[in-house]
Amino acid sequence: MSIRATVSLLCVGLSLSVLLVCADSAEDAPRKTVISLFGAMEKNDQAALIYLLDLPELMKNLNEDYAVQTDSPRVFTSPEQILEDLTGEGLTKKTWFSLQRIINKGHVEGDDVASVDVTFIDKEKSQGYMTRFGLHKVNGKWKIYSFKTVSGS
């Protein structure tokens, strides 16, 4: 085989590899965003949370509390309140981190909307809570705009 044929074959192989990696990362990017959220919460890194969350959209949630185990929704009147709730001694952080978390595969719907199902499991009560984190692209980056509880069983 000639050098030219070998180089051509390597280029084709490299191109296919790049395409496969890009395809995997495009589908996995929303899930990685959710994983990064929990990492930032664990470190109490509010600056990282600002980068991962669409805070104005989260503030529009008036009907459901995303802390999972609350009876009535809390209303947040500032982005700072949401950040405080997700870090330090915030109710949502304490609740989410007291439960086992299973972060499922992401589902991309179109170019700029996705969801990632997260299951929270309370082992003591043998109860699980299924949530669906809604994500959309803001300036080309995946941001979480919703933490919707789908079911509690």
Q: What is the CATH number of the domain that holds 90?
A: 3.10.450.50
List pLDDT tens digits, range 96-151. 999 999 999 999 998 899 999 999 999 999 999 899 999 999 999 999 999 887 76
List pLDDT tens digits, range 23-81. 445 568 999 999 999 999 999 999 999 999 999 999 887 666 666 656 677 778 899 99
List of residues 6+ apart from 115 with CB closer than 8 A: 30, 106, 107, 109, 132, 133, 134, 135
Instruction: Tell me the C-alpha distance between 110 and 127, whole Å.
Output: 33
pLDDT for 8 equals 44
Q: Does residue 76 fall inside a structural domain?
A: yes
* Domain assignment of residue 148, given as a range: 29-152
Q: Does residue 83 fall inside a structural domain?
A: yes
Report how many domains make up the chain: 1
pLDDT for 74 equals 75
Q: Does residue 98 fall inside a structural domain?
A: yes
Per the CB < 8 A criterion, the answer to whether 59 and 79 are in contact is yes
Q: Does residue 11 fall inside a structural domain?
A: no
User: Which residue has 């805070």 as its token pair?
Assistant: 55
Choose among 142, 145, 31, 46: nearest CA to 93. Answer: 46
Per the CB < 8 A criterion, the answer to whether 106 and 114 are in contact is yes
Q: Does residue 101 fall inside a structural domain?
A: yes
Q: pTM value? A: 0.77
Q: Does residue 2 fall inside a structural domain?
A: no
CA–centroid distance for 96 within its chain: 13
Q: Does residue 148 fall inside a structural domain?
A: yes
List pLDDT tens digits, range 79-89. 999 999 999 99
Q: Does residue 66 fall inside a structural domain?
A: yes
Per the CB < 8 A criterion, the answer to whether 46 and 55 are in contact is no
